[in-house]
Amino acid sequence: MSQNNIRNFSIIAHIDHGKTTLTDRFLNLTNAINERDFTERVMDSNPIEQERGITIKLAPVRMEYEYEAPNLEFKNSRFILNLIDTPGHVDFSYEVSRSLAACEGALLLVDSTQGIQAQTLSHFEKAKELNLKIIPVLNKVDLPASDLESVSLECMEAFGVSESEIISVSAKTGFNADKVLDAVIERVPAPDGKKDKPLRALVFTSYYDIHLGIVASVRVVDGQLNANSKLYLPSSQTQVNPVEIGVFSPSMKKVNSLKTGEVGYVATGLKSANLVRVGDTVMEFEKKNSVSVLPGYQEPTPMVFMEFYPIDGDDFAKLTDGMEKLSLHDSSLFFKATHSSALGNGYQVGFLGLLHAEIVKERLSREFSLELIATAPSVSYEIVNTQGKTITIASASQFPDPSIISQIKEPIAHAIIFTPEKYLGAIMQLCQDHRGKILATEKVGSRLKLSYDIPLSEIITSFYDSLKSVSSGFASLDYTVKEYRAVDAVKLNILVNKELVEALSMVVVKDKAEMLGRKMVKKLKEVIPRQMFEIPVQAAIGGKVVARETIKAYRKDVTAKLYGGDVTRRKKLLAKQAKGKKKMKQMGSVQLDSDTFLAVLKQ
Ligand code: GDP
Ligand code: MG
């Protein structure tokens, strides 16, 4: 098929606005999947993604569609439509931008019962920057709460489109889904790459296959990608002899070549995810010195860090195996071994954001049956020491001695909050409490777009939940990390029975340190079981104790009443206790069990 009959497009939407459902309708319409094989939500393949209704990673789908609408230019011709899906969550905004870069157009899907949300806006801005043709689509028109008139007005204002450009659909019933595909053909330009130029293909996502190795999804920008050519990935300086190349239709179908403008996959045979990076340019090995890379490549940078420790120390090997397997699929997952005197061997893990962290943790527990203790999420800090050298730390345990610190810098996020006007006061208060600085307010229809600078460390705690709660669920948030800025921060230590519990230490803003310290020791007092002796629980900054609680002694000798009784019963009881101890972590003279850690860390 000629380059003129190819359309590459994406769907951008706020979470739950119906992207996956609409994609399913497209697959029905183009018979990409026969009825027998069709399971709802074909696109969300991972069980955790299915349950949560989120899409993190997926392959592009190639559909063939016959245009039958009135436009004579296209009438009765067949088109290849490549739908390149994007992850819907802020954690994955770089992947979103690369997926969009592989397209010429985007469906901007808005739930007509909800209206525009923060993610809709930020994705729109990315699509606009990349010069994509935008097709506004209002979804869920089958629902009584659908308010086409006001949501149309909102779209016209926010996206600068005219009313006639807007298509109303029901992804659920399939109403007007064909009109959307017709519009893609009519309005989205064909890919304009040069077929006579040397090969350049953009990697926009990848996954691991046990037989094929890392499989990269690519969009051929210039030239042609041949199955038998020797390829090269400049950002990891890796040579690739493809195992096979092909297209997702939506199951994998081998082809001999991918031509200019086409979208497909390259099975690299490589076994390490970080050799195949999103945003990299696939080129021919022979031409590697004469071809320039495609613009926009970025190294993946983890934003949120946690430490994982197996509750049962014997499970460390299992955790290692789990981390290695998950990282095969996920080039943005960073991990390195670490050790804590309280929690034993574990890993420090870097994630793109909190959702990413949660999903990884959940997969470790489900797919590898691992019970884990996870430390509180932390951002990374840049610390300039008195000799002018900068080190980056990602956990309180790496915090250097304060006497050698000359400056601490923390990551600042640029946040967009989109909200109905009436919650403005509450949201401004919330942002202020989280050290936010307002940059701009802008009216969009009946709503407000607020731009803020907020320290990332404030956002990764309970900010999002609080935002939802002060706005009755109506405000939405999107953010990207912009820069590092100086902050007055300290390390808050927690001592149980005068011993430092490193796993509970935190880097906190100086102004909030005392308040947080008081909260921590209070919580610990509630959850640490009483022992035979009195236990002081303290929060300290350096040598200075800022908060203290005392857990009173408690006498209980479980075997006392059995003295003189049945020996086997007593042994049984002791054995039961010993088993219970496996889950305990010895804190010097005090044992904290995993539930204690979870209760304190999960606040
Ligand atoms: P995504 O997060 O954008 O992929 O959204 P989903 O496709 O997962 O849809 C979110 C929810 O909205 C699901 O429960 C869908 O069944 C529902 N939904 C999607 N489109 C429609 C529609 O046109 N009408 C109705 N009534 N529900 C829809
Ligand atoms: Mg989805």
Of 46-55, 237-246, 450-459, 472-481, least confident by mean pLDDT is 46-55
Give the per-residue pLDDT at 581. 45
Give the model's confidence band at 573: pLDDT under 50 very low, under 70 low, under 90 confident, else very high.
low
- Whether 235 contacts 286, CB under 8 Å: no
Asked if residue 50 has its Cβ within 6 Å of ligand 1, the reply is no
Of 4-13, 38-47, 58-67, 330-339, least confident by mean pLDDT is 38-47
Separation CA 228–CA 244 (nearest Å): 8
Asked if residue 596 has its Cβ within 6 Å of ligand 1, the reply is no
Query: pLDDT tens digits for 451-466?
Result: 999 999 999 877 888 9
Mean pLDDT over residues 46-55, rounded?
56
Separation CA 250–CA 83 (nearest Å): 10
Q: Beta strand 6-13 with 78-83: parallel, antiparallel or unpaired?
A: parallel
| Phi/psi at 12 (5° precision) | -115, 135
Give the per-residue pLDDT at 557. 55
Question: Which ligand is nearest the CA of 175, by number?
Answer: 1
- Whether 241 contacts 279, CB under 8 Å: no
Distance 424 CA to ligand 1 centre (A): 29
Give the per-residue pLDDT at 595. 66
Residue 164 has pLDDT above 80, yes or no: yes
C-alpha distances (whole Å) from 338 to each of 308, 343, 344, 349 are: 9, 10, 9, 10
Name the more confident of 92 and 223: 223
Query: pLDDT tens digits for 417-456?
Result: 999 999 999 999 999 999 999 999 999 877 899 999 999 9
Whole-number average pLDDT of the chain: 87
Which bin fits 348, alpha (ψ -120 to 50), beta or left (φ > 0)? Answer: beta
Asked if residue 170 has its Cβ within 6 Å of ligand 1, the reply is yes
Name the more confident of 556 and 340: 340
State the amino acid at position 263 in one-letter form: V
Residue 587 has pLDDT above 70, yes or no: no
Mutate to test the pocket of ligand 1, among 11, 14, 21, 39 (most ligand atoms within 8 A of CB): 21
Query: pLDDT tens digits for 357-411?
Result: 888 988 898 889 998 888 888 899 999 999 999 999 988 888 999 999 999 999 9
Give the per-residue pLDDT at 569. 64
Asked if residue 53 has its Cβ within 6 Å of ligand 1, the reply is yes
Using the structure block, give the residue that is written with the tokens 């769907």.
11
Please spell the DSSP secondary structure of 404-457, one letter per residue. GEEEEEEEEEEEEEEEEGGGHHHHHHHHHHTT-EEEEEEEETTEEEEEEEEEHH
Distance 105 CA to ligand 2 centre (A): 19
Asked if residue 58 has its Cβ within 6 Å of ligand 1, the reply is no
Asked if residue 205 has its Cβ within 6 Å of ligand 1, the reply is no
Residue 538 has pLDDT above 90, yes or no: yes
Distance 18 CA to ligand 2 centre (A): 7
The residue among 242, 218, 238, 330 whose CA lies nearest residue 288 is 238
Question: Which ligand is nearest the CA of 140, by number?
Answer: 1
Q: Which atom of ligand 1 is nearest to the CA of 55?
A: 4
Asked if residue 20 has its Cβ within 6 Å of ligand 1, the reply is yes
Q: Which atom of ligand 1 is nearest to the CA of 139?
A: 23
Atom 24 of ligand 1, residue of closest alpha carbon: 140
Query: pLDDT tens digits for 133-160?
Result: 999 999 999 999 999 999 999 999 999 9
Using the structure block, give the residue that is written with the tokens 């380059």.
3
Give the per-residue pLDDT at 584. 47
Helix (H) or strand (E) holding 226: strand 225-226
Q: Which two tokens stand for residue 568?
A: 């086997």
Mean pLDDT over residues 490-504, rounded?
88
461 contact partners, CB below 8 Å, separation of at least 6: 377
Give the model's confidence band at 488: pLDDT under 50 very low, under 70 low, under 90 confident, else very high.
very high
Residue 53 has pLDDT above 60, yes or no: no
Distance 355 CA to ligand 2 centre (A): 15
